[in-house]
Structure 1
Amino acid sequence: GHRFQRAAVNETRLGIPLIFGFDVIHGYKTIFPIPLAQVASWDLGMIEQIERIAAEEASADGQNWAFAPVVDVTRDPRWGRVMEGAGEDPYLGSRVAEARVRGIQGNDLGANNTLAACIKHFAAYGFVEAGREYNTVDISEQRLREMVLPPFKAAADAGAATFMNAFTTVNGIPATMNKFLLENILRGEWMWKGLVVSDYDSVGETVAHGAAADDVDASVKCLSAGSDMDMAGGTYLRGLKPALESGRISQAQIDEAVRRVLRLKFALGLFDDPFRYLDPKRRNETLEKPEYRTFARETAAKSMVLLKNDGGLLPLTEGSRFKKIAIIGPYADSKGDKDYMSFWTLGIGVREYDSTKVVRPAQVLKPTLEAMGFQVTVTEICLDATCTEKEYSAAINAAREADLVIACLGERGLDCGECRSVTNLNLPRDQERIVSIIGRLNKPIVTVLFNSRPLVFDWITQNVPAVLVAWQPGYETGNALADVLTGKVNPSGKLPVTFPKNLGQVPIYYNHLNTGRPQQQQGQMWTSGYLDSPVTPAYPFGFGLSYSHFVYSNMKLSKPQYKMGETIEVSITVTNTSNVAGEEVVQCYIRDLLADIARPVKELKGFEKIKIGAGESKIVTFRLTEKDLSYWNNELKFKADPGNFKVFIGGNSEDVKEMDFELLK
Structure 2
Amino acid sequence: MTLEEKAAQMANGAPAIPRLGVPAYDWWNEALHGVARAGAATVFPQAIGMAATFDTPLMAQISTVISDEARAKHHEFFRNGQHGRYQGLTFWSPNINIFRDPRWGRGQETYGEDPYLTARMGVTFVKGLQGDDPKYRKLDATAKHFAVHSGPEADRHTFDARPSERDLRETYLPAFEALVKEGQVDAVMGAYNRVYGESASASKFLLQDTLRRDWGFKGYVVSDCWAIVDIWKHHKIVATPEEAAALAVKNGTELDCGDTYAPSLPVAVRKGLIAESEVDKALVQLFTARMRLGMFDPPEQVRWARIPYSVNQAPEHDALSRKVAQESIVLLKNDGVLPLSRETKRIAVVGPTADDTMALLGNYYGTPAAPVTILQGIRDAAPNAQVVHARGVDLVEGRDDPAATPLIEPQYLRPAKGSTERGLRGEYFRSRDLSGAPALVRVDSQIGFRWDRGSPTDNLMARGEAHGGQSVPADNFSIRWSGQLLPPVSGTYQIEAAANDGFRLYVDGKLLLDHWDKSDRLRADSVSVKLDAGRAYDLRLEYYEEERDAGVRLAWRMPGAKPPFEEAVQAARDSDVVVFVGGLTGDVEGEEMTVNYPGFSGGDRTDTRLPETQRKLLEALHATGKPVVMVLTTGSALAVDWAKQNLPAILVAWYPGQRGGNAVADVLFGDTNPAGRLPVTFYKADEKLPAFDDYAMRGRTYRYFEGEPLYAFGHGLSYTTFDYGNLKLDRERAASSQAIKVTLDVKNTGTRAGDEVVQLYLKPVDPKHERARKEMRGFQRIHLAPGESRTVTFDITPAKDLRTWDENRDAYSVDPGRYEVQVGASSADVRATKTLTVTK
| Residue matched to 2:270 | 245
1:284-342, Cα deviation, whole Å (9 max, x unpaired) = 412211111111111111111000011x21112335xx54321111122225xx33102
SS in 1 for 2:257: coil
SS in 1 for 2:790: strand
Distance 2:632 2:688 in 1: 21
| Residue matched to 1:396 | 569
Quick check: 1:26–1:33 contact (8 Å CA) kept in 2? yes
Aligned equivalent of 1:612, options 775, 778, 784: 784
Do structure 1's residue 423 and structure 2's residue 606 form an aligned pair? yes
Go from structure 1 to structure 2 and tell me whether the alpha carbon gap of 1:568 and 1:68 turns closer, same or farther (over 3 Å shift): same
- Offset of 1:111 from its aligned partner? 4.7
Report which of the two has the higher share of strand.
2
SS in 1 for 2:227: coil
| Residue matched to 1:663 | 838
| Residue matched to 1:333 | 355
Quick check: 2:325–2:657 contact (8 Å CA) kept in 1? yes
Do structure 1's residue 652 and structure 2's residue 665 form an aligned pair? no
The letter for the 1-side match of 2:211 is: L
- Offset of 1:279 from its aligned partner? 11
RMSD, matched Cα: 2.6
Do structure 1's residue 364 and structure 2's residue 539 form an aligned pair? no
Aligned equivalent of 1:344, options 350, 356, 364: 364
Do structure 1's residue 258 and structure 2's residue 283 form an aligned pair? yes
The letter for the 2-side match of 1:22 is: N
Go from structure 1 to structure 2 and tell me whether the alpha carbon gap of 1:248 and 1:274 turns closer, same or farther (over 3 Å shift): farther
The letter for the 1-side match of 2:662 is: N
Do structure 1's residue 27 and structure 2's residue 47 form an aligned pair? no
Quick check: 1:597–1:633 contact (8 Å CA) kept in 2? no
**More moved, 411-420 vs 129-138:** 129-138
Distance 1:509 1:607 in 2: 21
Quick check: 1:17–1:274 contact (8 Å CA) kept in 2? no
- Offset of 1:389 from its aligned partner? 7.3
Distance 2:291 2:240 in 1: 33
Distance 1:133 1:359 in 2: 35
- With the length of structure 2 as denominator, give the TM-score of the two structures: 0.71
1:75-96, Cα deviation, whole Å (9 max, x unpaired) = 1121111011111111111111
Aligned equivalent of 2:814, options 640, 645, 658: 640
SS in 1 for 2:25: coil
| Residue matched to 2:640 | 457
- Offset of 1:107 from its aligned partner? 0.5
**More moved, 564-573 vs 629-638:** 564-573
SS in 2 for 1:587: strand
Aligned equivalent of 1:555, options 718, 727, 731: 727
Distance 2:605 2:91 in 1: 27
Quick check: 1:142–1:634 contact (8 Å CA) kept in 2? yes
- With the length of structure 1 as denominator, give the TM-score of the two structures: 0.89
**More moved, 116-125 vs 611-620:** 611-620
Go from structure 1 to structure 2 and tell me whether the alpha carbon gap of 1:437 and 1:59 turns closer, same or farther (over 3 Å shift): same
Do structure 1's residue 43 and structure 2's residue 66 form an aligned pair? no
Aligned equivalent of 1:209, options 228, 235, 253: 235
Do structure 1's residue 18 and structure 2's residue 18 form an aligned pair? no
- Offset of 1:413 from its aligned partner? 3.0
Distance 2:742 2:379 in 1: 47
Do structure 1's residue 376 and structure 2's residue 387 form an aligned pair? yes
Quick check: 2:153–2:604 contact (8 Å CA) kept in 1? no
Distance 2:19 2:589 in 1: 41
| Residue matched to 1:544 | 716
| Residue matched to 1:155 | 179
| Residue matched to 2:801 | 628
The letter for the 1-side match of 2:834 is: M
Distance 1:633 1:484 in 2: 47
Go from structure 1 to structure 2 and tell me whether the alpha carbon gap of 1:548 and 1:40 turns closer, same or farther (over 3 Å shift): same
- Offset of 1:595 from its aligned partner? 4.7
Quick check: 1:133–1:421 contact (8 Å CA) kept in 2? no
Go from structure 1 to structure 2 and tell me whether the alpha carbon gap of 1:191 and 1:270 turns closer, same or farther (over 3 Å shift): same
Quick check: 2:377–2:663 contact (8 Å CA) kept in 1? no
- Offset of 1:618 from its aligned partner? 2.1
**More moved, 556-565 vs 619-628:** 556-565
**Percentage of identical aligned residues:** 34
| Residue matched to 1:231 | 257
**More moved, 435-444 vs 421-430:** 421-430
| Residue matched to 1:318 | 342
- Offset of 1:439 from its aligned partner? 0.9
Distance 1:74 1:279 in 2: 34
- Offset of 1:538 from its aligned partner? 0.8
Do structure 1's residue 94 and structure 2's residue 116 form an aligned pair? no
Find the structure with the greater CA-based Rg. 2
SS in 2 for 1:258: helix
- Offset of 1:565 from its aligned partner? 2.5
Go from structure 1 to structure 2 and tell me whether the alpha carbon gap of 1:278 and 1:240 turns closer, same or farther (over 3 Å shift): farther
- Offset of 1:218 from its aligned partner? 0.4
| Residue matched to 2:625 | 442
Distance 1:339 1:130 in 2: 21
Quick check: 1:19–1:64 contact (8 Å CA) kept in 2? no
| Residue matched to 1:350 | none
- Offset of 1:8 from its aligned partner? 6.0
Query: How many correspondences in the alignment?
Result: 624
Go from structure 1 to structure 2 and tell me whether the alpha carbon gap of 1:503 and 1:189 turns closer, same or farther (over 3 Å shift): farther
SS in 1 for 2:709: coil
The letter for the 2-side match of 1:421 is: D
SS in 1 for 2:64: helix
Distance 1:407 1:58 in 2: 36
- Offset of 1:410 from its aligned partner? 1.3
Go from structure 1 to structure 2 and tell me whether the alpha carbon gap of 1:513 and 1:411 turns closer, same or farther (over 3 Å shift): closer
Residues 107-186 of structure 1: matches in 2 within 5 Å?
A: 107-108=132-133, 111=136, 114-126=138-150, 128=151, 133-134=156-157, 135-157=159-181, 158-186=183-211
| Residue matched to 1:530 | none
SS in 2 for 1:125: coil
- Offset of 1:276 from its aligned partner? 8.9
Distance 1:58 1:590 in 2: 39
The letter for the 2-side match of 1:577 is: T
Go from structure 1 to structure 2 and tell me whether the alpha carbon gap of 1:578 and 1:259 turns closer, same or farther (over 3 Å shift): same
Distance 1:369 1:456 in 2: 31
The letter for the 1-side match of 2:104 is: W
Quick check: 1:169–1:175 contact (8 Å CA) kept in 2? yes
Distance 1:556 1:661 in 2: 11
Go from structure 1 to structure 2 and tell me whether the alpha carbon gap of 1:241 and 1:278 turns closer, same or farther (over 3 Å shift): farther
1:27-79, Cα deviation, whole Å (9 max, x unpaired) = 02111100010010001111122111111112212121111011111211211
Go from structure 1 to structure 2 and tell me whether the alpha carbon gap of 1:277 and 1:58 turns closer, same or farther (over 3 Å shift): farther
SS in 1 for 2:173: helix
- Offset of 1:477 from its aligned partner? 1.6
- Offset of 1:171 from its aligned partner? 2.0
Aligned equivalent of 1:57, options 52, 69, 72: 69
Quick check: 2:220–2:286 contact (8 Å CA) kept in 1? yes
The letter for the 1-side match of 2:627 is: P
Do structure 1's residue 477 and structure 2's residue 660 form an aligned pair? yes
- Offset of 1:512 from its aligned partner? 3.5
Segments of 5+ residues of structure 2 without an aligned counterpart are 1-11, 36-40, 75-87, 405-560, 593-602, 691-698
Distance 2:305 2:606 in 1: 46
Distance 2:734 2:122 in 1: 31
Distance 1:416 1:132 in 2: 16
Do structure 1's residue 489 and structure 2's residue 672 form an aligned pair? yes
Distance 2:738 2:105 in 1: 43
**More moved, 385-394 vs 17-26:** 385-394
SS in 2 for 1:59: helix
